Amino acid sequence: MSLQNNKVVVVGAGLMGTGIAHAFAASGFATTLVDSNGQALEKAQQGIYKILDDGVKLGKVEAAAAEAAKLRLSIQTDLTAAAAGAQLLVETVSENLAVKKVVLAQAAAEMADGAIYATNTSALSVTEIATAVARPENVVGMHFFNPVHKMKLVELVRGLATSDETVATTRAYCDAITKQSIVVSESPGLTTSRMSALAGNEAMWMLQEGTATAEDIDTALRLGFNHPMGPLELGDLTGWDTRLAVLKYLHQTLGDKFRPCPLIIKMVAAGRYGRKTGQGVYKYENGQRVPGSGMKGSAL
Ligand SMILES: NC(=O)c1ccc[n+]([C@@H]2O[C@H](COP(=O)([O-])OP(=O)(O)OC[C@H]3O[C@@H](n4cnc5c(N)ncnc54)[C@H](O)[C@@H]3O)[C@@H](O)[C@H]2O)c1
């Protein structure tokens, strides 16, 4: 039986669940999106329809394929009903260990034998989440990137009990939804958050030391390394408050090279989180960056 005949349940209809449910429905899977909040479900369904309709307008998706994808998608507030007989669960509810464990336990009681339970957690332990079910070898991390319909990568996270078979089948699901997967042993920050935190922190150290202006540091990485965005503009987009929380965690777990730059601590104390507060390393007006507004260095 091909994977495409399998029934997929995506739990959590927020930012990530919307994109993940779209990816499976558009790739031929009967997909049920579940959320305890009916309004979130309606919004997610509209969001998925919009991604499909935009794809048609841009000539990337055939109109008939978009309509078929819409028909393959259903929404449901009752997890027990949605999980009955499903072969793959992708859990992407809020980043809370207790909530994630309850979702897995509840779904596992209804799902098919040998079903895979994947979690999209950004930072929680897959090993710990796996203790919620009787078959922890079937639990794997499936870490997608935002926006899911544009980002090709999925980091598969192997917990202590995750079996080779589970990793292989989950990779096959990634292939089926045209995502490129990599496999990472459970560790703080996986590969992406760990690298990104280090680069953003180092860029801030350079800014603090007055090595170069913010604009020049970002230009260096964009034009010198072909990065689509510099580390400081990316930090403004992610939010330096989030960045600081990640750095503190990595510092605690992986050691001194992740010690947060004092300039980040100072900016967070001042409420300069980035785009969302109108000021970070750069200033923003009406959502647009103010030209020439980057910090000039020697900021301490
Ligand atoms: N936002 C990102 O860029 C990103 C990237 C990768 C991974 N993640 C991870 O993905 C997960 C979801 O993140 P998000 O940004 O989509 O969050 P979100 O807040 O946008 O959505 C979470 C959804 O989960 C629902 N929910 C909460 N408890 C539930 C329950 N018990 N049953 C059913 N639904 C429930 C909420 O109603 C909400 O709609 C988190 O674990 C996060 O760490 C996020």
pLDDT tens digit sequence for 249-294: 999 999 999 999 999 999 999 999 999 999 999 999 998 999 999 9
- Together in a domain, 22 and 157: yes
Helices 38-57, 15-26: crossing angle, 10 deg rounding: 50
Could you give the percent of the chain with pLDDT greater than 70?
Answer: 99
Residue 5's pLDDT band, with cuts at 50, 70 and 90, is confident
For residue range 162-191, list pLDDT tens digits in order.
999 999 999 999 999 999 999 999 999 999
- Together in a domain, 179 and 198: no
Looking at the predicted structure, is the pLDDT value of residue 128 above 70?
yes
Pocket test for ligand 1, best of 92, 156, 184 (most atoms within 8 A of CB): 92
**d(CA 214, ligand 1 centre) in Å:** 32
Could you give the percent of the chain with pLDDT greater than 90?
Answer: 94
pLDDT, residue 162, reads: 98
Q: Report which of 103, 76, 71 is spatially closest to residue 89, judged by C-alpha positions.
A: 103
For residue range 133-151, list pLDDT tens digits in order.
999 999 999 999 989 999 9
Query: Domain boundary at 185, 206, 223, which?
Result: 185
Looking at the predicted structure, is the pLDDT value of residue 70 above 50?
yes
For residue range 192-242, list pLDDT tens digits in order.
999 999 999 999 999 999 999 999 999 999 999 999 999 999 999 989 998
Q: Report which of 115, 163, 119, 117 is spatially closest to residue 142, judged by C-alpha positions.
A: 119
Residue 123's pLDDT band, with cuts at 50, 70 and 90, is confident
pLDDT, residue 207, reads: 96
pLDDT average, residue stretch 64-93 = 98
Residue 298's pLDDT band, with cuts at 50, 70 and 90, is low
Contact 111, 11 (CB under 8 A): no
- Together in a domain, 174 and 31: yes
E strand spans, the chain: 7-11, 30-34, 73-76, 88-91, 116-119, 139-143, 153-158, 180-185, 284-285, 288-289
Look up the CATH number of the domain holding residue 258: 1.10.1040.50
Q: Report which of 215, 254, 209 is spatially closest to residue 231, judged by C-alpha positions.
A: 215
Q: Report which of 219, 3, 238, 9 is spatially closest to residue 103, judged by C-alpha positions.
A: 9
Q: Give me the chain's average pLDDT, please.
A: 96
> CA quadruple 42, 48, 51, 53: dihedral positive or negative?
negative
Max intra-chain CA distance, the chain: 63
Q: Whose CA is nearest to atom 30 of ligand 1?
A: 36
Query: Domain boundary at 128, 160, 185, which?
Result: 185
Residue 112's pLDDT band, with cuts at 50, 70 and 90, is very high
- Together in a domain, 127 and 268: no
Looking at the predicted structure, is the pLDDT value of residue 1 above 60?
no
Q: How many residues does the chain have?
A: 300
CA 89 – CA 83 distance, rounded (Å): 8
Looking at the predicted structure, is the pLDDT value of residue 299 above 60?
no
- Together in a domain, 137 and 271: no
CA 138 – CA 92 distance, rounded (Å): 17
Q: What's the Rg (C-alpha) of the chain?
A: 21
* Residue 24 structural domain: 3-185
> Which residues have C-beta atoms less than 6 Å from ligand 1?
11-17, 34-37, 40, 92-95, 99, 103, 120-122, 143-144, 146
pLDDT average, residue stretch 76-95 = 97
pLDDT average, residue stretch 90-97 = 94
- Together in a domain, 102 and 200: no
CA 95 – CA 89 distance, rounded (Å): 16
pLDDT, residue 280, reads: 98
pLDDT, residue 4, reads: 81
- Residue 122 tokens, joined: 């950004």
Pocket test for ligand 1, best of 11, 16, 104 (most atoms within 8 A of CB): 16
**d(CA 95, ligand 1 centre) in Å:** 6
What is the SS3 assignment for 91?
strand
Query: Domain boundary at 138, 160, 185, which?
Result: 185
CA 133 – CA 131 distance, rounded (Å): 6
pLDDT, residue 300, reads: 45
